[in-house]
Amino acid sequence: MLSIRCVRFSPDDPLAALELADAPEPDVREGWEVVELRAASLNHHDLWTLRGVGAAEANLPIQLGTDLAGVTADGREVVVYPLVGGTDQAALVSEGMHILSEQGDPGTLAERVAVPPHGLVPKPAGLSFAEAACLPTAYLTAWRMLFVKAALREGDAVLVQGAGGGVATAAILLGAAAGLRVYATSRSEERRSRAVTLGATAAVEPGGRLPERVDAVIETVGKATWAHSLKSLRAGGTVVVSGATSGPDPSADLARMFWRQLDVRGSTMGTLEEFHALLAFLERTGVRPLVDSTFPLADAHAAFERLASGDAFGKVVLAA
């Protein structure tokens, strides 16, 4: 079967470490089931793995991918919850917490993938396989950031840094549908305009002044936007961090943090209960994940090029 793999680590040219290979059928552990791929979305996590960040040479070659929607052997249409080793809050913060493609577990970018039984979640009938494949990483992460970590409710205001990225796009769509006032940033005028089309109240250039101070900031960019994130918060506000694509080491600006009593909260993925809540919200509101582009599984290199270029607005998807 076709498998998309990381065969070495290449920090400066991650796509040089990408390989399409003929792999054996998945090794099925007791209780696990095989899902035949219909669609899988790409994440920056895959690029970090190709660079060697958070991955071990002992596990090479690594079958990439954390997101999958497909069909089980008995015909059920499912979307895969990718956390291995648990489903709850304790699992999220445990030392052994990992997702598919980490710690020796094969990822989702293959024609057939073995997954733990708790990972088989019924695919909502109203979602295409491509849309469902966007959910497990980016949309679940955005859901937890908005409604669990920041505890935002209808009428609150939130700033989403870096419109166009997978988590950022998800946060705009989900936040707007939940009745939040959503502000977004982007260096691109076109992306700012698209963010407003998706439901943002307004979009500004990075560092731009907002119409109001916000209750929370969704931060995935890191160093380049950190100062703006802190300055944009109301007193007692919260910045929730799930990534740092521009660098992980900004100035902490401690004086601003303690004087204005700001909270900084880290967030990764979400629990299985939160995943079910996300799916129910999508069915109730009619919100659909934004797919930037879809490529055949055999054209994975082009899909990764699209992801790495930074030009995608929404999720890049591989389809069977």
Region for 236 from its dihedrals, namely left if φ exceeds 0, alpha if ψ lies in -120 to 50, beta otherwise:
left
Residue in this structure with the two tokens 């991918």, named with its chain if needed: 65
Does 150 lie in the same domain as 118? Answer: no
| pLDDT given at position 85 | 86
As a whole-number percent, the residues of the chain with pLDDT over 90 amount to 95
Give 206's DSSP letter: T
Name the domain count of the chain: 2
| pLDDT given at position 49 | 98
What whole-number distance in Å separates Cα of residue 149 and Cα of residue 237?
12
Give 243's DSSP letter: -
Residue 33 lies in a domain: yes
Mean pLDDT of 275-296: 97
| pLDDT given at position 287 | 97
Residue 306 lies in a domain: yes
18 phi and psi angles, rounded to 5 deg: -90, 135
Residue 272 lies in a domain: no
| pLDDT given at position 280 | 97
Does 120 lie in the same domain as 13? Answer: yes
Residue 273 lies in a domain: no
| pLDDT given at position 91 | 85
In sequence order, what are the residues at sequence separation of 6 or more whose Cβ sits closer than 8 angstroms to the Cβ of residue 97?
Answer: 83, 85, 86, 91, 268
- Judged against a pLDDT cut of 90, whether residue 97 lies above it is answered with no
Does 252 lie in the same domain as 154? Answer: yes
| pLDDT given at position 75 | 98
Does 179 lie in the same domain as 256? Answer: yes
| pLDDT given at position 104 | 94
Q: What is the pLDDT of residues 44-76, one digit of tens each?
A: 999 999 999 999 999 999 999 999 999 999 999
| pLDDT given at position 255 | 97
Does 293 lie in the same domain as 190? Answer: no
- Judged against a pLDDT cut of 90, whether residue 90 lies above it is answered with no
Average pLDDT, the chain: 96
Number of H helices, E strands in the chain: 10, 18
Residue 157 lies in a domain: yes
Does 121 lie in the same domain as 20? Answer: yes
- Report the DSSP beta bridge partners of residue 22: 2
Does 109 lie in the same domain as 19? Answer: yes
What whole-number distance in Å separates Cα of residue 315 and Cα of residue 138?
9
Mean pLDDT of 82-100: 89
What whole-number distance in Å separates Cα of residue 226 and Cα of residue 229?
5
Does 143 lie in the same domain as 126? Answer: no
Does 152 lie in the same domain as 101? Answer: no
Does 87 lie in the same domain as 164? Answer: no
Does 227 lie in the same domain as 161? Answer: yes
Of 7-11, 93-97, 237-241, the least confident: 93-97
Residue 218 lies in a domain: yes
Confidence of residue 284 (pLDDT cuts 50, 70, 90): very high
Residue 151 lies in a domain: yes
- Judged against a pLDDT cut of 90, whether residue 259 lies above it is answered with yes
In this structure, which amino acid lies at residue 315?
Answer: K
The pTM (predicted TM-score) of the whole model is 0.96
Residue 277 lies in a domain: no
Instruction: Look up residue 22 and give its two tokens.
Output: 């003929």
Does 115 lie in the same domain as 148? Answer: no
CATH code where residue 315 lies: 3.90.180.10
Residue 71 domain boundaries: 2-134+289-319
- Judged against a pLDDT cut of 90, whether residue 150 lies above it is answered with yes
CATH code where residue 234 lies: 3.40.50.720
What whole-number distance in Å separates Cα of residue 185 and Cα of residue 204?
5
Q: What is the pLDDT of residues 17-36, one digit of tens each?
A: 999 999 999 999 999 999 99
Helix, coil or strand: residue 265? strand
Q: What is the pLDDT of residues 162-216, one digit of tens each?
A: 999 999 999 999 999 999 999 999 999 999 999 999 999 999 999 999 999 999 9
Confidence of residue 310 (pLDDT cuts 50, 70, 90): very high
Mean pLDDT of 259-269: 96
| pLDDT given at position 152 | 98
